[in-house]
Amino acid sequence: MSEEKKSCLVFTCLSGSIKACIAIVAGLVFVEPKEENQIHSRSSGFSKRPPPESLPEPELDIYSSVPIQCWTQWFNSDNPTGDEDQETLARLRIQYPGKICPIPVGIEATNLFGIPADQTGDTIFQSDTTTGFICRNGDQISGECNDYRVRFSCTPPYCADTACWTQWFDRDNPSGTGDWETLQSLRRENPDKICEDPWYIEAVTVDSPSTPAIQTGENFYVFSPTQGLVCRQEDQSSKTCLDYKVRFGCPCTK
């Protein structure tokens, strides 16, 4: 009854290998990057890549009162043709002035196919919000890294846009290995109810009154608008998760 990372505040590495790092989150709302010149307004629907006309649009609610953490655009300033793929903050700030907040609170790296860095099989030399991202060819069995892109998570005033929110979803409970509210499963079980490119995710407990995930003190294996939420029993000191429900923030139409 389960399936299967990301966060923006605390990173824990397993077995001493950065490539085996998982993201343990302590946050409430996570968002996807927004393209420049996008317009957001207080109505339901989407402002980019609307679903085919034959499919019903999800019913969305306006919700803009929660604290938001947003992501920058994706950056790809280097490739692994030399000794390494170096997507460092120092390099990126020079090439993209004003595009990265002064103090990022999270970093995400994928290859150009969108596969997270820790799932590519590469050994990652560095991935943090102080230095940025470095993959060295010499550390790889194949002799060469994938080509990576990175983005950084920021806090307001970098992100304070209004979003349209989906209904709440609660597809699982923590009776097995954990509570698995993954986006893939939610899409399959709730067709046409979640926009194509969610910006935000919010999670709270299912009890009443509900408690925001940030206030529960639990560790989250996955907490991402592109992946959903996973709370694993094994990551908790109590060896049990609370039961969560999630919803996704989507672009609004004019």
pLDDT at 11 over 70: no
pLDDT of 198: 85
Instruction: For residues 13 and 57, give the distance between their C-alpha atoms in angstroms, rounded to a whole number.
Output: 40
Domain containing 234 equals 163-251
Answer for the pair 235, 221: CB distance below 8 angstroms, yes or no: yes
pLDDT at 167 over 60: yes
191 plus 130 within the same structural domain: no
Range ranked top by mean pLDDT from 54-68, 129-143, 160-174: 129-143
Q: What is the pLDDT of residue 33?
A: 40
pLDDT band at 18 (very low <50, low <70, confident <90, very high): very low
Q: Do residues 195 and 239 share a domain?
A: yes
Where does a domain end: 129, 154, 179?
Answer: 154
Q: Does residue 29 register a pLDDT over 60?
A: no
Please say whether the beta carbons of 247 and 169 come within 8 A. Answer: yes
Task: Report pLDDT for 185.
Answer: 95
Which pLDDT score is estimated for 63? 34
Mean pLDDT along residues 221-232: 89
Residue that is written with structure tokens 């709440």 in the block: 168
Is 78 domain-assigned?
A: yes
CA-angle at 153, arms to 81 and 103, nearest 5°: 95
In a domain, 98, yes or no: yes
Average pLDDT over residues 234-247: 94
Among residues 154, 172, 194, the one where a domain terminates is: 154
Q: How far is CA 77 from CA 42, 129, 140, 188, 193, in A?
A: 36, 16, 21, 36, 36
